[in-house]
Amino acid sequence: MTKNTLIVGASGGIGRAVLENIKQSKKQEDVIYVASRKHLSIEDDSVISKQLDYSERSIKSLVSQIDNDKIKLDEVYICTGVLHDFEQQLSTLKPEKRLEDINVEAFERYFHINTIIPSLWLKYLVNTVSKNGSTIGIISARVGSISDNRLGGWYGYRSSKAALNMVIKTAAVEYARRASKTCLISYHPGTVDTGLSKPFQANVKPEKLFTAEFTAERFVNVCRTSNPEQSPRYVDYDGNAIPW
Ligand SMILES: NC(=O)c1ccc[n+]([C@@H]2O[C@H](COP(=O)([O-])OP(=O)(O)OC[C@H]3O[C@@H](n4cnc5c(N)ncnc54)[C@H](OP(=O)(O)O)[C@@H]3O)[C@@H](O)[C@H]2O)c1
């Protein structure tokens, strides 16, 4: 059976590794759509790469292209998200340590990137996922758990991931009616050695700092072993449930 996949955020540490993982197991007739803000040159005819800015118009346009190609998606991996922008010369996004650090513009950016963009994918994909069974895995984070919050801090990131979880839970109710064989997954990858976690790795034990390749393998495996009856799942890299 053919397996059609969409990977969003394919230039990022985890997104790129998910693409490599999917490519390894793909059959000739399978189609992989890849979305990124960057232009990616991928030498593989069955990979359709689309550069987009994650505006609503660009998301709608890519999903329309998939519809026009008469493709239904079996697996979707949404790997976008932001914690800081330290790589930029004029960095404005920094996880808050205390209430006084809360900044309106930064808070809005966290919500736009971490909550609103994945919500738009859920909005446009509802009629494009396969009705025979499909999975949409969205990378959230354990810090988005309201009941698991002991450490505090990171107001914007934490809240944007908690809001993302709420969107996933709410969308699951509607997907159960409109695309009943779809499993929605809010996924925690652990601490992964990518640009996002780089500035915060100092206190992470080496065995708890995962490679992107290991992470992709676990993420794909959790998505492939989930079923619609479990939707929505909030799970970690071991497949263990996280309390919402
Ligand atoms: N690394 C960790 O330890 C860790 C832990 C828990 C959760 N996560 C989550 O895992 C996901 C992937 O993170 P990563 O570790 O792979 O980080 P990464 O290497 O920094 O990749 C982040 C991705 O997000 C997209 N992105 C970055 N800035 C953006 C912006 N301003 N607007 C729209 N999209 C933007 C990029 O997509 P393009 O391809 O479009 O450029 C990029 O692929 C995120 O949701 C993150 O919160 C990561």
| 75 SS3 class | strand
124-155 pLDDT tens trace? 999 999 999 999 999 999 999 999 998 999 99
Which pTM does this prediction carry?
Answer: 0.98
230 within 8 A of 186, measured Cβ to Cβ? no
Nearest CA to ligand 1 atom 17: 196
14 lines ligand 1 (CB under 6 A): yes
Average pLDDT, the chain: 96
Q: Is the pLDDT of residue 117 over 90?
A: yes
Averaged pLDDT, 50-65: 98
25-38 pLDDT tens trace? 999 999 999 999 99
> Which residue in this structure is represented by tokens 């920094």?
94
37 within 8 A of 113, measured Cβ to Cβ? no
Rounded to whole angstroms, the Cα distance separating 58 from 209 reads 34
Note the pLDDT of residue 102: 97
When pLDDT is cut at 50, 70 and 90, the band that residue 41 belongs to is confident
Note the pLDDT of residue 51: 97
189 lines ligand 1 (CB under 6 A): yes
11 lines ligand 1 (CB under 6 A): yes
189-221 pLDDT tens trace? 999 999 999 999 999 999 999 999 999 999 999
36 lines ligand 1 (CB under 6 A): yes
What radius of gyration, in Å, describes the C-alpha atoms of the chain? 17
- Nearest Cα to 140, choosing from 120, 158, 156? 158
Closest approach atom of ligand 1 to CA 191 = 3
Domain boundaries defined on the chain: 5-236
Give the rounded percent of residues in the chain with a pLDDT score beyond 90. 93
Q: Is the pLDDT of residue 243 over 90?
A: yes
Q: Is the pLDDT of residue 43 over 90?
A: no
Q: Residues near 101 by Cβ (< 8 Å), separated by ≥ 6?
A: 94, 155
206 within 8 A of 214, measured Cβ to Cβ? no
Q: Is the pLDDT of residue 1 over 90?
A: no
Q: How far is CA 36 from the centre of its chain?
A: 12
191 lines ligand 1 (CB under 6 A): yes
Rounded to whole angstroms, the Cα distance separating 200 from 162 reads 20
**Domain 5-236, CATH number (from 3.10.620.30, 3.40.50.720, 1.10.260.40, 1.10.3720.10):** 3.40.50.720
82-107 pLDDT tens trace? 999 998 888 889 999 999 999 999 99
Q: Is the pLDDT of residue 42 over 90?
A: no
When pLDDT is cut at 50, 70 and 90, the band that residue 44 belongs to is confident
Amino acid at 126: V
Rounded to whole angstroms, the Cα distance separating 196 from 189 reads 12
- Tell me, in angstroms, the distance from the centre of ligand 1 to residue 51's CA: 16
When pLDDT is cut at 50, 70 and 90, the band that residue 185 belongs to is very high
- Nearest Cα to 5, choosing from 176, 125, 179? 125
120 lines ligand 1 (CB under 6 A): no
| 115 SS3 class | helix
Q: Is the pLDDT of residue 123 over 90?
A: yes
